[in-house]
Amino acid sequence: MAQNIYDRPEFFEGYSQLGRSVEGLDGAAEWPALRAMLPDVRGLRVADLGCGFGWFCRWVLDHGAARVLGFDLSEKMLARAREAGPAGAIVYERADLEQLSLPAAGFDLVYSSLALHYVEDVMRLFGTVHQALAPGGHFVFSTEHPVYMAPSNPGWSVDAEGRRTWPVDRYLMEGPRSTDWLAKGVVKHHRTIGTTLNCLIQAGFIIAHVEEFCPTAEQIAARPALAEELERPMFLLVSARR
């Protein structure tokens, strides 16, 4: 059973105030890059693994998806997603991604935004997703980049001249990483890029695109703090085909 950090009051409170929670998809700097990796969603059957407040579920519905299911471990997030509606058009279900089961060939697109780094057994999950996709179906996801997640001290080091570097260690030591982000003791599962891609390939996927999120010049001009994202990769974005 995965750690249900999102339902802890202090975490939920903090998470609810993030740009991506308040503004939705447009509050997430990596969304334009991830959106560019999606197929045309019109008529597709879509599952969102780790749907949170349901922003993506509503977006695909607005863009013509035929059927939308959102899965999340957090009761609080699902409750808020259901409140946002539209009633009946999107089905939200509670699910632990460590134990998820999905109907065979029931979807054309499986999407997941920043949820897979909470999953220990991605090999199992990728197998579940593969069999749940129709032939030719798409699996598009973002996850925390392993360079971001690996370090013992995942924060900037600033030298005498004020230059920032990201102090990588333990990169090849896969396994849990406990950090204090919004709440104490949040457990994420560090895997190399190689492991993530090889698990997809082993599950039967064809790798279609791999992107390490890089803000555009326009994004940095609009929000100068994003410039630090050029120094070390924070998000890994992947699309794969069944």
The helix (run of H) or strand (run of E) holding residue 78 is helix 75-84
Q: How many residues bind a copy of itself (CB under 8 A)?
A: 35
Query: Which pair of structure tokens corresponds to residue 137?
Result: 């179906």
Query: Which pair of structure tokens corresponds to residue 181?
Result: 């982000």
Candidate residues 62, 79, 99, 170; the one interacting with a copy of itself per rule CB under 8 A: 170
Query: Which pair of structure tokens corresponds to residue 183?
Result: 């709440």
123 binds a copy of itself (CB under 8 A): no
DSSP 228: G
52 binds a copy of itself (CB under 8 A): no
Least distance (Å) between residue 193 CB and a copy of itself: 6
43 binds a copy of itself (CB under 8 A): no
210 binds a copy of itself (CB under 8 A): yes
Candidate residues 36, 91, 207, 221; the one interacting with a copy of itself per rule CB under 8 A: 207
Per CB under 8 A, the segment of 65-73, 106-114, 129-137, 208-216 that binds a copy of itself is 208-216
Nearer to a copy of itself among residue 89 and residue 201 (C-beta): 201
Least distance (Å) between residue 230 CB and a copy of itself: 4
Tell me the C-alpha distance between 139 and 108, whole Å: 8
Tell me the C-alpha distance between 189 and 118, whole Å: 6
Per-residue binding letters, 130-169, with a copy of itself (x by CB under 8 A):
-----------------x---xxx---x-----xxxxxxx
Three-state DSSP string of 118-159? HCCCHHHHHHHHHHHEEEEEEEEEEEECHHHHCCCCCCCEEC
121 binds a copy of itself (CB under 8 A): no
- Token pair 């334009």 is at which residue? 32
216 binds a copy of itself (CB under 8 A): no
231 binds a copy of itself (CB under 8 A): yes
Contact between residue 107 and residue 46 where contact means Cβ atoms under 8 Å apart: yes
Tell me the C-alpha distance between 177 and 234, whole Å: 15
CB atoms within 10 A of CB 164: 13
Candidate residues 2, 84, 105, 193; the one interacting with a copy of itself per rule CB under 8 A: 193
Q: Is the peptide bond before 167 cis (omega within 30 degrees of 0)?
A: no
201 binds a copy of itself (CB under 8 A): yes
Least distance (Å) between residue 210 CB and a copy of itself: 5
192 binds a copy of itself (CB under 8 A): yes
- Rounded to 10 deg, the angle between the 193-202 and 122-132 helix axes is 40
Q: Which residues bind a copy of itself (CB under 8 A)?
A: 147, 151-153, 157, 163-173, 192-194, 197-198, 201, 206-212, 214, 229-233
